[in-house]
């Protein structure tokens, strides 16, 4: 049952020992020393005081650490992460307790049983921006309605791969009884399939928030009878054969020396072999296996390996029907600086069939 799954959320911190507080007028140098020594600081009075302390922390760290080479940037970021997460803020009655705070509905939705607790300031910032995305929604060029991504669920604000998939679906002439969407996320690929007349889509995800969020989004509308959800690995409990399997997997291999715990972004060495083995069993003889991928790992020199090409070369299970590519629009002015490689980024739509 979907109601039994536990949602991922920042762990509430109980308000315990006396903590140094930070407000306007507090000696900044002293506050930074407290953080440097590994002790927490509580933001009081105004939300803005939290923003100023983060600002001061940045200033302090850029004096302390050079921040130019890639390695230095990583040290800087990890130090910033460590110290900024010592900055705490209080939640009382499901609301931020300081004045002029944003109102964040997740505090009520995700913590129905805990009304008073502490979170770190960066966690609250994350909840706040996720709430804005959720409330305002995201317009997706290939969908009529906006998407409202649930807290902690993958969504994208670049749409080239969705356009590729949409164009392919438009021309698809095969049967449309059912499909499987592995790693359904915020549901965008499933909604595209429903738009083109698929009667039933089975969606899975290992992220509980994706499943909980979509179940909430669909409620008991007509859509909820077309998209069935399962919280589980790869194909979850779907064992029946289907005419279409789609997967927009993580695009980067996990690396030992980095935090690669985000399953929407990083894949481990088992993911693709297990996926292709499962897909082999569940794809009808004339069915299509559709994968979305990108050359991101290759152009950023993370790996030369391409898990789909590897499967085609060595797997002995599938053959290539076609691969469609589309270059990704240049990044906006704001982000261009560090992302010169983006100019050669391409998304890929792979269509495979049984061998």
Ligand X SMILES: C[S@@+](CC[C@H](N)C(=O)[O-])C[C@H]1O[C@@H](n2cnc3c(N)ncnc32)[C@H](O)[C@@H]1O
Contact positions toward ligand X, by CB under 6 A? 154, 156, 182-186, 188-189, 204-207, 210, 233-234, 248, 250, 263-264, 271
3-state SS string over 188-199? HHHHHHHHCCCC
The nearest distance, CB 186 to ligand X, in angstroms, is 6
3-state SS string over 254-295? CCCCCCCCCCCCEECCCHHHHHHHHHHHHEEEEEEEEEEEEC
Q: Which residue is nearest to ligand X (CB)?
A: 183
Compare residues 47 and 267 and give the one whose CB is closer to ligand X. 267
The nearest distance, CB 249 to ligand X, in angstroms, is 6
Compare residues 224 and 233 and give the one whose CB is closer to ligand X. 233
215 is written with which tokens? 């179940």
CA 244 from centre of chain: 24
The nearest distance, CB 348 to ligand X, in angstroms, is 13
Compare residues 108 and 310 and give the one whose CB is closer to ligand X. 310
The nearest distance, CB 263 to ligand X, in angstroms, is 4
How far apart are the C-alpha atoms of 5 and 286, rounded to whole Å? 35
Compare residues 10 and 187 and give the one whose CB is closer to ligand X. 187
CB 209 within 8 A of CB 153: yes
How far apart are the C-alpha atoms of 124 and 129, rounded to whole Å? 9
The nearest distance, CB 147 to ligand X, in angstroms, is 9
Compare residues 45 and 254 and give the one whose CB is closer to ligand X. 254
Task: Report CA-CA distances (Å) from 256 to 18, 268, 271, 354.
Answer: 38, 10, 16, 34
């Amino acid at each position: 049952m979907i109601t039994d799954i536990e949602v991922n959320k920042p762990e509430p911190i109980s308000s315990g020992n006396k903590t140094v507080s930070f407000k306007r007028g507090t000696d900044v140098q002293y506050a930074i020393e407290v953080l440097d020594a590994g002790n927490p600081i509580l933001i009081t009075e105004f939300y803005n005081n939290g923003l100023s302390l983060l600002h001061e922390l940045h200033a302090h760290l850029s004096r302390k650490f050079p921040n130019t080479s890639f390695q230095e940037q990583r040290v800087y970021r990890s130090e910033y992460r460590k110290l900024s997460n010592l900055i705490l803020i209080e939640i009382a009655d499901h609301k931020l307790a300081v004045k002029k705070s944003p109102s964040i509905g997740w505090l009520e939705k995700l913590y129905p049983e805990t009304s008073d607790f502490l979170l770190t300031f960066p966690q609250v910032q994350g909840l706040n921006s996720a709430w804005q995305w959720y409330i305002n929604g995201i317009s997706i060029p290939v969908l009529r309605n906006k998407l409202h991504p649930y807290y902690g669920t993958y969504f994208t604000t670049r749409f080239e791969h969705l356009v590729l998939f949409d164009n392919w679906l438009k021309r698809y002439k095969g049967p449309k009884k059912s499909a499987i969407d592995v790693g359904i996320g915020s549901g965008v690929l499933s909604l595209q399939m429903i738009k083109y007349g698929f009667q039933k889509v089975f969606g899975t995800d290992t992220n509980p928030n994706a499943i909980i969020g979509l179940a909430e989004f669909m409620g008991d509308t007509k859509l909820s009878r077309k998209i069935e959800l399962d919280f589980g690995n790869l194909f979850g409990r779907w064992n029946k054969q289907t005419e279409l399997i789609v997967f927009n997997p993580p695009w980067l291999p996990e690396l030992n020396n980095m935090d690669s715990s985000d399953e929407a972004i990083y894949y481990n060495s088992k993911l693709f072999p297990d996926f292709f083995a499962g897909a082999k069993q569940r794809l009808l003889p004339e069915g299509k296996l559709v994968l979305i991928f990108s050359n991101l790992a290759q152009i950023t020199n993370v790996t030369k390996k391409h898990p789909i090409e590897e499967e085609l070369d060595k797997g002995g299970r599938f053959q290539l029907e076609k691969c469609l590519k589309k270059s990704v629009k240049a990044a906006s002015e704001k982000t261009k600086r560090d992302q010169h490689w983006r100019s050669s980024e391409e998304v890929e739509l792979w269509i495979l069939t049984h061998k």
